[in-house]
């Protein structure tokens, strides 16, 4: 596939790296010579310095033969115009645009992105997607990440092991023997700064961030196994009333009307503006690093604190302060993901990466064949792939044990005739099974061959 990526920032860079490593022909456009030089130094892609919305630049990038254009520059207007020009002049089949400004995303103007107006196939809003991701995880107390698959029948849940976790110091293979009625598959572990796909003999340790696959109806029992009482959060404190904080509050108000929400925003003008945009949220004007304002927001009785200011350091310190003052769990937005292991080692329960969420969302639209969805768990970790076993697939008749590869591939769940199966090693893959697989980045080509379809494009 031939892909043009407009924008060489963090999202553009990671998309270019992902797609180029999977034998796609990638061209990156950016007006910053510094970012283009970084692309040239680190990636095996074509890089062009220029404005992504200029027809001659798009032409030199090969737009006339491109299969897809992904516009993720810092300018919404450039992104939208690049998509429109790609359609009008070069007939690029698929166009994805990042749009961040709430001025465009207001539901009042939703018809702007209809087919008869702008030629954009997919609009991605990082703020909205991050808010949805956080909101989803808040539906389960104790989980810091939640990915819903197979129309909600299977969930990937992420929890952190503590000294009180019942299954610590236990081999993964023994978890279900301790809880005979529980079926789950542990698909990933983050231990300090090391991410890996676990094997049955691996032992869960204090501090581990554990990702597991479980059927929707078994979530309460699974959370109990990891020491959490299954319940939705009733009190939420948001630190920072920027676009993400506002989007999260709006999402919670709409999806979880029973949750009590408070926001602490430092800027008085912004605090007044967001207060007028929300119906049932209390907005306090103050500093998230001020213990008195946190106590005024009843932080000690709050299940979840989410720090969403524009400053990584403020988010880290405010999360730690909130936990010291009694908050049950704290999540911090961190743009520099290289700091993530340090932040979580200090006591923050989980980090939120807008870059990871945005890249993962875009990848869901960059696929073909029987691949239903692709979710990235982060750099150098792996991906969760939901796909169908078709007649041409070489995996028909194979057992799960045949497919599971040492720290490369784990079959997490199978959906067969509307039934969710957490597979055993001897489970046999059948025609039309929908299979959820955790796969290390280095094993992507192996998965492509098994499913007889490239996972990363239409």
User: 93 lies in a domain?
Assistant: yes
Q: Which of 354, 387, 407 is the last residue of a domain?
A: 354
pLDDT in tens, 364-374: 777 655 677 77
Q: Give yes or no for residue 253 having a pLDDT over 80.
A: yes
pLDDT at 455: 43
pLDDT at 367: 62
Q: Give yes or no for residue 254 having a pLDDT over 70.
A: yes
Q: Give yes or no for residue 286 having a pLDDT over 90.
A: yes
Check whether residue 98 and residue 137 sit in a common domain.
Answer: no
User: 112 lies in a domain?
Assistant: yes
Check whether residue 158 and residue 239 sit in a common domain.
Answer: no
Q: Give yes or no for residue 265 having a pLDDT over 80.
A: yes
Cα 1 to Cα 258: distance, rounded to the nearest angstrom? 47
Q: Give yes or no for residue 314 having a pLDDT over 80.
A: yes
Instruction: Identify whether the C-beta of residue 96 lies closer than 8 Å to the C-beta of residue 362.
Output: yes
pLDDT at 29: 97
Check whether residue 338 and residue 242 sit in a common domain.
Answer: yes
For the chain, percent of residues with pLDDT exceeding 90: 53
Q: Is 287 helix (H, G, I), strand (E, B) or coil?
A: coil
Type and span of the H or E element at 294? helix 291-296
Provide the whole-model pTM. Answer: 0.79
Cα 252 to Cα 260: distance, rounded to the nearest angstrom? 9
Long-range CB pairs of 354-361, under 8 A, 24+ apart, other chains included: 354/126, 354/127, 354/130, 354/244, 355/10, 355/11, 355/14, 357/126, 357/129, 357/130, 357/133, 358/11, 358/72, 358/98, 358/124, 358/126, 358/129, 359/11, 359/14, 359/15, 359/18, 361/124, 361/129
How confident is the model over 307-320, as a mean pLDDT? 95
pLDDT at 233: 65
Check whether residue 420 and residue 363 sit in a common domain.
Answer: yes
Q: Which of 327, 354, 381 is the last residue of a domain?
A: 354
Q: Give yes or no for residue 411 having a pLDDT over 50.
A: yes
pLDDT at 236: 93
> Mean pLDDT of all residues in the chain?
88
Place of tokens 């963090």: 10
User: 457 lies in a domain?
Assistant: no
CA distances for 352 relative to 67, 137, 207, 239, angstroms: 31, 11, 18, 13
Check whether residue 207 and residue 259 sit in a common domain.
Answer: no
The band of 296, judged by pLDDT with boundaries at 50, 70 and 90, is very high
How confident is the model over 89-117, as a mean pLDDT? 84
pLDDT in tens, 159-187: 989 888 999 999 998 988 899 999 999 99
pLDDT in tens, 12-32: 998 998 888 877 899 999 999
What is the span of the domain harbouring residue 433?
Answer: 359-451
User: 230 lies in a domain?
Assistant: no
Domain of residue 79, CATH code: 3.40.50.720
- What is the gyration radius of the CA atoms in the chain, in angstroms? 22
146 CA to centre of own chain: 9
User: 366 lies in a domain?
Assistant: yes
Q: Counting beta carbons within 10 angstroms of the beta carbon of residue 440, is it exposed (0 to 12), middle (13 to 18) or buried (19 or more)?
A: buried
How confident is the model over 415-434, as a mean pLDDT? 91
pLDDT at 443: 79
Total domains present in the chain: 4
Check whether residue 334 and residue 368 sit in a common domain.
Answer: no
Q: Which of 104, 124, 144 is the last residue of a domain?
A: 124
The band of 53, judged by pLDDT with boundaries at 50, 70 and 90, is very high
Q: Give yes or no for residue 202 having a pLDDT over 50.
A: yes
Length of the chain: 458
26 φ, ψ (degrees, to nearest 5): -115, 135
Q: Counting beta carbons within 10 angstroms of the beta carbon of residue 254, is it exposed (0 to 12), middle (13 to 18) or buried (19 or more)?
A: exposed
The band of 454, judged by pLDDT with boundaries at 50, 70 and 90, is very low
**Beta carbons within 10 angstroms of residue 23's beta carbon:** 12
Domain of residue 391, CATH code: 3.30.70.1450
């Amino acid at each position: 596939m031939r892909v043009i990526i407009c924008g060489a920032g963090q999202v553009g860079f990671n998309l270019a790296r992902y797609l180029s490593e999977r034998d796609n022909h990638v061209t990156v456009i950016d007006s910053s010579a510094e970012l283009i030089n970084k692309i040239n130094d680190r990636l095996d892609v074509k890089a062009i310095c220029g404005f992504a919305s200029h027809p001659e630049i798009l032409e030199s990038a090969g737009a006339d033969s491109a299969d897809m254009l992904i516009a993720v520059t810092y300018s919404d207007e450039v992104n939208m115009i690049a998509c429109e020009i790609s359609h009008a002049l070069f007939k690029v089949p698929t166009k994805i645009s990042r749009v961040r400004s709430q001025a465009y995303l207001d539901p009042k103007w939703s018809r702007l992105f209809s087919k008869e107006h702008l030629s954009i196939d997919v609009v991605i809003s990082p703020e909205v997607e991050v808010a949805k991701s956080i909101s989803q995880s808040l539906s389960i107390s104790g989980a810091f990440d939640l990915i819903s698959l197979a129309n909600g029948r299977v969930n990937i849940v992420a929890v952190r092991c503590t000294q009180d976790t019942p299954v610590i110091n236990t081999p993964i293979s023994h978890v279900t023997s301790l809880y005979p009625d529980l079926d789950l598959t542990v698909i990933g572990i983050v231990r300090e700064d090391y991410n890996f796909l676990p094997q049955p003999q691996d032992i869960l340790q204090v501090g581990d961030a554990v990702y597991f696959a479980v059927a929707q109806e078994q979530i309460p029992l699974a959370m109990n196994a990891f020491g959490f009482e299954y319940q939705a959060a009733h009190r939420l404190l948001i630190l920072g009333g920027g676009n993400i904080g506002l989007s999260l509050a709006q999402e919670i108000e709409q999806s979880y009307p029973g949750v009590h929400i408070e926001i602490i925003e430092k800027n008085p003008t912004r605090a007044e503006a967001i207060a007028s945009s929300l119906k049932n949220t209390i907005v306090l004007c103050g500093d998230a690093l001020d213990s008195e304002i946190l106590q005024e927001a009843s932080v000690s009785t709050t299940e979840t604190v989410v720090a969403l200011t524009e400053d990584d350091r403020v988010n880290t310190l405010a999360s730690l302060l909130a936990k010291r003052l009694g908050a049950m769990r704290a999540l911090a937005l961190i743009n520099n993901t290289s700091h993530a292991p340090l932040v979580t080692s200090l006591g923050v329960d989980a980090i939120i990466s807008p870059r990871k969420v945005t890249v993962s969302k875009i990848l869901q639209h960059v696929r073909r064949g029987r691949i239903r969805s692709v979710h990235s768990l982060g750099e150098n970790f792996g991906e969760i792939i939901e796909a169908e076993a078709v007649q041409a697939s070489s995996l028909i008749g194979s057992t799960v044990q045949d497919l599971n590869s040492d720290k490369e591939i784990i079959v997490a769940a199978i959906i067969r005739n509307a039934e969710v199966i957490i597979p055993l090693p001897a489970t046999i893959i059948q025609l039309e099974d929908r299979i959820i697989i955790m796969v290390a980045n280095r094993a992507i080509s192996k998965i492509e061959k098994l499913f007889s379809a490239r996972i990363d494009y239409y």
